[in-house]
Amino acid sequence: MEVVNGFPEGFLWGAATSAYQCEGAALEDGKKENQQDVINRQIHDERGYADASVTADFYHHYKEDVALMAEMGFKSFRLSINWSRVLPDGVGEPNPKGVQFYHDLFAELHAHGIEPIVTMWHYDLPMALVEKYGGWRSRQMVDDFEYYARFLAKEYGSEVRYWLTINEQSIVVNYIDKKNLISKEDFYNPRYRYQANHYMNLAHAKAAIAIHELVPNALVGAALDCAPYYPASSAPQDVLASRHANEFKNYFYMDAYIKGTYTPSVLAYLERQGLMFDVEPGDLELIKRGSECFDFLGVNYYQSGCVKAPTPGKSRHPKENNKTGKGGHVEYEVQPDLFEGTKNEYLVDTDFSMPIDPSGLQFILEEINDRYGIPVMICENGLGAYDTLEKDGSIHDPYRIEYIRQHIKAMKAAIANGVQLWGYNPWSAMDLLSTSNGIAKRYGFIYVDRTDDDVRECRRYRKDSFYWYKNVIATNGKNLE
Ligand code: BGP
């Protein structure tokens, strides 16, 4: 591929979304509930944030949104299929109106020259499967995920070339109680997480194999949350903790997808901690075969992490996101006997306590390339912030422009060091529902006029970053000013 202005010719400039976070129409046209409909209702009741019933109302605004994306010059758009919209019961009878929605959306995108990048599952498991057997608690998910993948391949294979099976498996594993399974019993059972992770690896492998079998020229990957974990100091114990955190949080997932193997040091740790999962005959062979169908890694990058040697006696807990949006307190992850998260004193945090670190993107991209030599696509990256709609309809978001500018520079530097980067799809095309901070935490280039309390008409407005990004795309990343 020829490199023009630092970016390859045909580079996929676009943006990302996920179904439950932007579509709304949660119970419309035959769609049944998914876990996110339920979880976000709970979040609404507990903390007052918006639920998933309307979000950005993309279901009704998609034509207008695609036109705005085309105006920005998008070459790609990452979206996910709302599983319970197309198969309301998870498997079995399809929902014709839900199925048609995605045909119409893909047609609209193609009419504007925009390539869809489709995630099969982005946190929103059909409630039917949760109620039937507890979702990822059961091995039945492996076959049902394959059923869903085959359905998608047959239905949309001629309209979609880029497929991502699962969004952020490592995040699902860490927050499985909240994002994926509504069960207090499993909340306290960390062993369950790694069993579910194993099922996801099997499900991913079956889906990747199915897509390659059914869709000629398809390119298959999965999107992972990728964050380098730096040592808090040069004390050898901290450096070792950083190595362990990178293995545990990044390579354990990448190794399974890309090499088709489980990382030995992580397996040994899980065994020591009594967290080891059951493996049935044929499982490892299936994961290996799945890795042969893995064409590119979707990289979701927001921030880097920082770790130190674990404090003896501290018990295991995941990182807790900042829920107030007022900066400050975060509860860091602890993995006993492995690592403990801590603040990186060299970085400035966002209002939502995410450290801003463009160099971390270059770091992880080069790591992935040197370790696996596989093409990558940025499938998420962005700044969640409060925006103000001015009286004249403008939105001034220089902080977002600066964040994205610095990350694009980091991508350029990574490409210069040999990284095979296919595209940049920052989060998000339009403002949408955050996983933990409602509507007020905005990421879009397109402003959606609604609040957590009042859905209004969800009118669209162009932010300053909209015009800036349009110019970036027009110059293939040359003009970042
Ligand atoms: C990623 C998820 C997205 C998105 C993003 C921003 O982990 O894949 O779904 O929400 O994070 O996070 P948040 O919404 O919590 O700000």
- Is 115 an annotated catalytic residue? no
From 163, 75, 158, select the one nearest 113 (Cα to Cα): 75
How far is the centre of ligand 1, averaged over its atoms, from the C-alpha of 435 (Å)?
5
Is residue 430 within 8 Å of residue 395, measured between CB atoms?
Answer: no
Fold of 3-474: TIM Barrel (3.20.20)
**Alpha-carbon distance values, 338 to 117, 163, 239, 280, 354 (Å):** 36, 34, 11, 27, 23
Strands 446-449, 459-462: pairing kind? antiparallel
Annotated active-site residue in 23, 146, 168, 340: 168
435 lines ligand 1 (CB under 6 A): yes
The answer to pTM > 0.95 is: yes
Instruction: Determine the angle formed by the axes of helices 398-416 and 358-372, rounding to 10 degrees.
Output: 30
Q: Dump pLDDT digits (tens) for 335-378.
A: 999 999 999 999 999 988 899 999 999 999 999 999 999 999 99
Whose tokens are 């499985």? That residue is 176
CB distance 427 to ligand 1 below 6 Å? yes
Q: Which residue has the tokens 């409630």?
A: 127
User: Contact, 214 vs 155, CB < 8 A?
Assistant: no
| Distance in Å, CA 122 to ligand 1 centroid | 10
* Ligand 1 pocket residue status of 428, Cβ below 6 Å: no
pLDDT in tens, 428-468: 999 999 998 999 999 999 999 999 999 999 999 999 999 99
Contact between 98 and 85 under an 8 Å Cβ cutoff? The reply is yes
Which of 36, 80, 301, 427 to mutate to test ligand 1, by most ligand atoms within 8 A of the CB atom? 427
Residue of 162, 154, 133, 130 lying closest to 12 (CA atoms): 162
CB of 144 within 6 A of ligand 1: the answer is no
Please state, in angstroms and rounded to a whole number, the distance separating the CA atoms of residues 166 and 321.
21
Tokens in use for 177? 């109680």
Residue 388 has a CB neighbour count (10 Å cut-off) of 9
Q: 355 - beta bridge partners?
A: 349
Domain spans in the chain, listed from the N-terminal domain onward: 3-474
Q: Is the CB of 171 under 6 A from ligand 1?
A: yes
Strands of 266-352 (E only): list them.
Answer: 296-300, 305-308, 334-335, 339-341
CB 299 within 8 A of CB 226: yes
At CA 470, angle to CA 431 and CA 398, rounded to 5? 60
Full pLDDT tens readout for the chain, 481 residues: 566 667 999 999 999 999 999 999 999 999 999 999 999 998 899 889 999 999 999 999 999 999 999 999 999 999 999 999 999 999 999 999 999 999 999 999 999 999 999 999 999 999 999 999 988 889 999 999 999 999 999 999 999 999 999 999 999 887 765 555 545 555 557 778 899 999 999 999 999 999 999 999 999 999 999 999 999 999 999 999 999 999 999 999 999 999 999 999 999 999 999 999 999 999 999 999 999 999 999 999 999 999 999 999 999 888 887 777 787 778 899 999 999 999 999 999 998 889 999 999 999 999 999 999 999 999 999 999 999 999 999 999 999 999 999 999 999 999 999 999 999 999 999 999 999 899 999 999 999 999 999 999 999 999 999 999 999 999 999 999 9
Q: Comparing C-alpha atoms, which of 435, 450, 430 is closest to residue 74?
A: 430
Mutational test site, ligand 1, from 302, 434, 437, 452, max ligand atoms within 8 Å of CB: 434
pLDDT (tens digit per residue) in 11-29:
999 999 999 999 999 999 9
- In whole angstroms, give the CA distance from residue 148 to residue 30: 17
- Ligand 1 centroid to Cα of residue 382, in Å, is 9
Any ligand 1 atom below 6 A from CB of 434: yes
167 close to ligand 1 (CB < 6 Angstrom): yes
46 catalytically annotated: no
